[in-house]
Amino acid sequence: MRSFFERFKFFALVMLGISAVIIYLFYNALQPKKTLPIYTPAMVNTELVAEEIQHIRKYHTIADFSLVNQNGDTITQEDYRDKIYIADFFFTTCPTICPIMTKNMAAIQDKVGDDVMLLSHSVTPQIDTVPQLKKYALEKGVDDSKWNLVTGDKKQIYELARKSYLAVKTDGDGGPYDMIHTENFILIDKNRRIRGFYDGTDEEEVQRLLEDLKILKSNYKE
C-alpha cells in the first residue's frame, strides 16, 4: 500500500510540473507583445519639426545622405541597410552636453552587438574635419566598425536633424555662426523609421533606450 502511494505521489508531482509549464506557456502566449511606436512628424512636438512636414502622419523615414566619417570614408544609408542604429548630433569642441552624450554613447557601444550601429553627426562640420574627428574618435574609444562620426555639407546635416530625425528646435539662421544643438539620441529601426527619442545626457534615459532596443530586436526575431 505504501509503495502504491509513493508511486502516486511521484506521478502527482510530475503532472503538477507539466501543468505549471503549460500554464506558463499559455500565460506568455496571451500576453500582448511589446512594441515601440513608429514616430512621424505629426506625433512630435511641432517645435522640433520643420513646418512643411508637420502634417505627415505616416511613412516618415530618414532621408538618403552622403557624409564622411573619421576615417575619410563616405558613409551613406547603404552602410546602415538592415541595421538598427542610434543617431545623435554633436561637435568635438562642445564644452557642455556633448562630452556627456559621447560618454553615454560609448557606453552603449560596449553593450550592443554587431547588429546595432551608431551614427554621430557633427553640427560644426567646418571645424570637425576628418583629422579632427579621428583625433576625437581615438580619445573617446570609438569602435570604427560600428560607430561613425560624420562631417560634410552643413545644409544636409541640418536638414537631416530637422526634417528626418525631428530632433532640433531650429534649422539655423543660415549665417556663418548659426548652430543647432540637441541632447536627443534617436533610435532608428531597420526600415529607417524613428522608434524612440531619449535624453543622451541622462543615464536613466540611456537605460530606457537599451530596454527599448531589446524590445525592437525581439520584434525582428518573432
Residue 23 in domain: yes
pLDDT of residue 181: 84
Domain identity same for 114 and 7:
no
pLDDT of residue 2: 54
Domain identity same for 111 and 143:
yes
Q: What domain count does the chain have? A: 2
Domain identity same for 25 and 52:
no
CA distances from 215 to 36, 42, 84, 102, 156 (A): 7, 24, 12, 24, 31
Q: What is the pTM of this model?
A: 0.83
pLDDT of residue 174: 46
SS (H, E, C) 118-176: EEEEECCCCCCCHHHHHHHHHHHCCCCCCEEEEECCHHHHHHHHHHHCCCCCCCCCCCC
Domain identity same for 8 and 84:
no
Q: Which domain holds residue 87?
A: 41-221
pLDDT by residue (tens digit) across 106-140? Answer: 999 999 988 999 999 999 999 999 999 999 999 99
Q: How many CB atoms lie within 10 A of CB 199?
A: 18
pLDDT above 70 (res 6): no
Residue 49 in domain: yes
Domain identity same for 25 and 51:
no
pLDDT of residue 108: 98
184 DSSP β-pair partners = 199
pLDDT by residue (tens digit) across 19-53? Answer: 555 654 444 445 457 899 999 999 999 888 888 99
Q: What is the mean pLDDT of the chain?
A: 87
| Lookup: cell for 213 | 532596443
Kindly provide the b/e burial profile for residues 134-168, where b requires at least 16 CB atoms within 10 angstroms of the residue's own CB.
Answer: bebbeebebeeebbbbbbbebebbbbbbbbbbbbb
Domain identity same for 56 and 121:
yes
**Cα 192 to the chain's mean position, in Å?**
11
pLDDT of residue 28: 45
Look up the CATH number of the domain holding residue 66: 3.40.30.10
